[in-house]
Chain A
Amino acid sequence: MVKVTIDNIEVEVEQGTTILNAARQIGGEVVPPAMCYYSKLPGSGGKCRTCLVEVAAGSSADPRPMPKLVASCSTPVMDGMIVKNKTSDRVHENRGGVVEFLLANHPLDCPVCDQAGECHLQDLGYEHGSQKSRYEEEKRTFEPIDIGDTIKLHMNRCILCYRCVHVADNLTENRVHGVLNRGEQAEISTYIENAIDNDFSGNMIDVCPVGALTDKTFRFKSRVWFLKPMEAERSCNKCSGKAVLWMFGNEIYRVTARKDKYGEVEDIDGKPGWICNDCRFENKEVSKWKILGPRVIDRHSVISQGKYETKIETSTKKIN
């Protein structure tokens, strides 16, 4: 076990734990935001740079500060390491910079985006963004396309987190989509407008932190904040059958995996609770499910339940 201090809070974690995961063990405000890292997806992380933190002391053995900010999702802690996240002006300033970069080519089409209300980029922009964009250039644009019957790709909104690529690598045999081209021209694509057709492809939607990959069966049906998330299960021979139903009255509008406050699928029976496409797209009748009760969405976001008060509080703070 090694001891690390994050924003003046000490925590003991196992050797090899990343700074981000050590912070998640503390929880609350000290946890850096992560747009590309996804603990259930080996190989993810390091790319978006929103989780940058300052290392004020490398370790007890070598207490020198690290000259650059480091990606907390891919930097392992050392015994005696001192990390500054919320308490670092440098982090605040540079994270703001990263947000500005992520929004530079983003269409900001939240009013017509299905992800609105549960979008991590919205949250990030709210926390760290500035009121006005300094990006006056023409934005990079792509036509939305279908990648299969059930998934829509809005490349304009993509922040190239690579999570969906990792989902395909980790959950399916033959990946058919990936990142094509490079630099500013890089895009998620199948190249030949292939359908992504496998039993677990729908999980790409769940891992997408923005509205780049959305559920076609749910498109424009309702804003998520009007829906009631309910925990439910059904017997399924492909997955655990444990999901969240997003309901309006007695109608199921959408089915997703059960996600935690970091937007990651919860473990079910010790394994990540990915759900299959049958559960996600094919079973929208209430009779197909056993409904267990309301799902508490523990996230700092529009869809959070019972958190309106804190929301108003922080908004007022921001205005003042």
Chain B
Amino acid sequence: MKGRKLLLDKIGISGIETFEIYKKNGGYRSVEKALKSMSPEDVVEEVKKSGLRGRGGAGFPTGMKWSFLAKPEGVPRYLVCNADESEPGTFKDRYLMEHIPHLLIEGMITSSYALGSNLSFIYIRGEFMWILHILEKAIAEAYNNGYLGKNILGSGYDLDLRVMPGGGAYICGEETALLESLEGKRGNPRMKPPFPAVKGLWGCPTVVNNVESIAAVVPIVNDGGDAYAQIGIGKSTGTKLISACGNLARPGVYEIELGLSVEEFIYGDDWCRGIANGKKIKACVPGGSSVPILPHYLITKTASGENRLMSYESLADGGFLSGSMLGSGGFIAFDEDQCIVRNTWNFARFYSHESCGQCSPCREGTGWMEKVLNRLEHGEGNLRDIELLEEINKKIEGNTICPLGDAAAWPVAAAIRHFRDEFEWHVTNREESQTRNYGLCKEPVTA
């Protein structure tokens, strides 16, 4: 059974965005359970047991992240929800917040209690301003019903919750850039160490979690960490929101149990129903624009011939040589008529545009790659440009302050790795490359 839903199960209920209907349908149980019968440590323990991994993209175990939070006497601690969803291909948090805002509010209250935060924030990207208003409304309802404010449910626990907008900067999805932005500054990522768990918002210990991670705390507390860990496969526990887009017959946001086969997800009737207009799939970026692209022959099967599954491990099977990453769950499919060079250029332009400009490899390197790819795409490239791109890549990767450098380098490296023929064809067939697309890449012949 791969159809269990823990986050979106109530999404079809009319009026679920209101406190009343949400509560009537079992909402806010986790707050009652946690505040009335559990210590904060108990909640952290359940999250640890659940095996929940950060849903923003890095996949770091949430319980472990929580346990790193420093707790010096007399210093406030903060929980900040990262709702700055901006990784191309990713629109799952938006869907959740738009349709079932109280799930996030509930998760924030329960998680804030676990971490000992009395003032928590949701930092939402500025382009989601209408969702900010949805959340503000939901928060006001929660205050009115005694789930926020002083002495919540008579437990003696106080919590204020605020929503703050971003202003248009992908980099603010990086947790320390987000904190800078929240403090009213440019979103320049901070040097680490110190990590936010020690020195975060206004220099105080802070946990930053993705929307979906916070929401997942609700079923974890309701049903127990063990029950959550039963769902999924191996170390990929629970359910994951996947936002499917690109050339799919039915793009949208789906909640899957981790371990669903990629083939089922792309072609199944319950999911994306295949490629739009009956075309063939050419490539797929399974976890948001920064993860390596997979050519058609590595999407549903791994290099060793096993079925590829929607899980952290299976999508990464083969490493960067023949695998990719689950990332944020932004699943982008490319049909046979798409141009990989154009798309790689497009992504490079995105990362160059979004680089904060603080450190030299990212500032200069992303801009350089964008310019070289622009030439290649427009029939003005040389064969040595392809090697140059690989070189620039290597000099960016791992050498930057924050992961944006890697995020910019990986898609270019993977595209050249799997679609080198197509890149070369853009150089050797300059004119033709401006009038038609290359088509599917050839599968390497293995002995």
Footprint of B on A, CB under 8 Å?
A: 45-50, 52, 67-69, 71, 74-76, 94, 97-98, 100-102, 104-105, 134-135, 137, 140, 159-160, 162, 179, 181-186
In the complex, which residue of chain A has the Cβ closest to the Cβ of B357? A186
In the complex, are the beta carbons of B360 and A47 less than 8 A apart?
yes
B361→A49 contact, CB < 8 A: yes
Indicate which residue in A45, A48, A76, A94 contacts B193 across the interface (CB closer than 8 Å). A76
If the complex has contacts A45-B191, A184-B355, are A179 and B186 also in contact, measured as CB distance less than 8 A? yes
Interface residues of B in 356-408 (CB under 8 A from A): 356-361, 363-368, 371-372, 388, 391, 394-395, 398-401
> Which residues from B are CB-within-8-Å of A101?
360-361, 363-365, 368, 395
A71-B361 Cα distance, complex, nearest whole Å: 13
Sample of 20 further A-B pairs with CB below 8 A, known A46-B191, A137-B372? A47-B401, A49-B361, A52-B399, A68-B399, A74-B191, A98-B395, A101-B361, A101-B364, A102-B364, A105-B364, A140-B367, A159-B360, A160-B357, A160-B363, A182-B169, A182-B355, A182-B357, A183-B356, A183-B366, A184-B357
Residue in chain A with minimal CB distance to B354: A183
The yes or no answer to B353 lying at the interface (CB within 8 A) is yes
Q: How far is the CA of A67 from the CA of B368 in the complex (A)?
A: 26
How many angstroms from the CA of A47 to the CA of B365 in the assembled complex?
14
Complex Cα gap A134–B369 (Å):
12
Chain A residues whose C-beta falls within 8 Å of the C-beta of B191 in the assembled complex: 45-46, 71, 74
Distance of A131 from chain B, by nearest CB (Å)? 16
Asked if A182 and B395 sit within 8 Å, CB to CB, the answer is: no
The answer to whether A69 and B357 touch across the interface, beta carbons within 8 angstroms, is no
Q: List 13 A-B contacts (CB under 8 A).
A: A47-B401, A52-B399, A67-B398, A74-B191, A76-B193, A94-B399, A98-B360, A135-B368, A137-B371, A160-B360, A182-B186, A184-B352, A186-B356
Q: A94-B395, A98-B395, A184-B352 are in contact. Are A48 and B360 (CB under 8 A)?
A: yes
Bound complex: CA A46 to CA B190 (Å): 9
**Contact in complex: A183, B360 (CB < 8 Å):** no
Q: Which of B163-214 contact A (CB under 8 A)?
A: 169, 186, 191, 193
Provide the residues of chain B in CB contact with A162, threshold 8 Å: 358
Known: A47-B401, A137-B371, A184-B352. A102 touches B360 (CB 8 A): yes
Closest to A185 in B: B357
A67 vs B398: C-alpha distance in the bound complex, in angstroms?
9
Whose C-beta in chain A lies nearest to the C-beta of B370? A184
Identify the 5 closest CB pairs spanning chains A and B, nearest first: A97-B395, A186-B357, A184-B367, A101-B364, A183-B355
CA distance A209 to B364 in the complex (A): 18
Complex alpha-carbon distance, A181 and B356, angstroms: 9
Determine whether the beta carbon of B359 is less than 8 Å from that of A183.
Answer: no
Q: How distant is the Cα of A177 from the Cα of B144 in the complex, in angstroms?
A: 46
- Chain A residue numbers with a CB within 8 Å of B356 are 182-183, 186
CA distance A134 to B360 in the complex (A): 16
Asked if A46 and B368 make an inter-chain contact with CB atoms under 8 angstroms apart, the answer reads no
Q: Is the CB of A183 within 8 A of B399?
A: no
Q: In whole angstroms, how far apart are the Cα atoms of A140 and B353 in the complex?
A: 15
CB distance from B252 to the nearest CB of A (A): 32
On whether the beta carbons of A100 and B395 are closer than 8 Å, the reply is yes
- Chain A residues near B359 (CB, 8 Å)? 46-49
B308-332, CB < 8 A from A: none
Whole-angstrom CA separation of A69 from B398 in the bound complex: 7
Query: Which B residue's beta carbon lies closest to that of A104?
Result: B364
With a CB–CB cut-off of 8 A, which chain B residues contact A75? 193
CA distance A290 to B356 in the complex (A): 47
Contact A183 B363 (CB under 8 A): yes
With both chains docked as a complex, state the minimum distance between the C-beta of A163 and any C-beta of chain B, in angstroms. 13
Least Cβ–Cβ distance between B178 and chain A, in angstroms: 15
- B358 close to A104 (CB less than 8 A): no
**A49 with B360, Cβ < 8 A, contacts A135-B368, A184-B367 known:** yes
CB proximity of B64 to chain A, nearest CB, Å: 17
Measured CB to CB, the nearest residue on chain A to B374 is: A137
Known: A46-B191, A68-B398, A184-B352. A98 touches B361 (CB 8 A): yes
CB distance from B167 to the nearest CB of A (A): 11
The complex places the Cα of A40 from the Cα of B323 at a distance, in Å, of 46
Which residue on chain B has the smallest CB distance to residue A68? B398
Q: Give the residues in chain A near B357, CB-CB below 8 Å.
A: 160, 179, 181-186
Nearest B residue (CB) for A67? B398
**Chain B residues closer than 8 Å to A48, beta-carbon distance:** 359-360
Q: Among the interface residues B352, B361, B371, which one has the most CB atoms of the partner chain A within 10 A?
A: B361
Query: CA separation between A48 and B366, bound complex, in Å?
Result: 15
A38 to chain B, nearest CB (A): 15
B206 to chain A, nearest CB (A): 19
Q: Which residue of B lies closest to A178 (CB)?
A: B186
Q: Which of B193, B367, B391, B400 contacts A49 (CB 8 A)?
A: B400
Complex CA distance for A52 and B365, rounded to whole angstroms: 16
CA distance A73 to B38 in the complex (A): 44
- Complex Cα distance, B360 from A98, in Å, reads 7
A182 to chain B: closest residue by CB: B357
Q: How far is the CA of A84 from the CA of B401 in the complex (A)?
A: 20
Q: Are the C-beta atoms of A184 and B363 separated by less than 8 Å?
A: yes
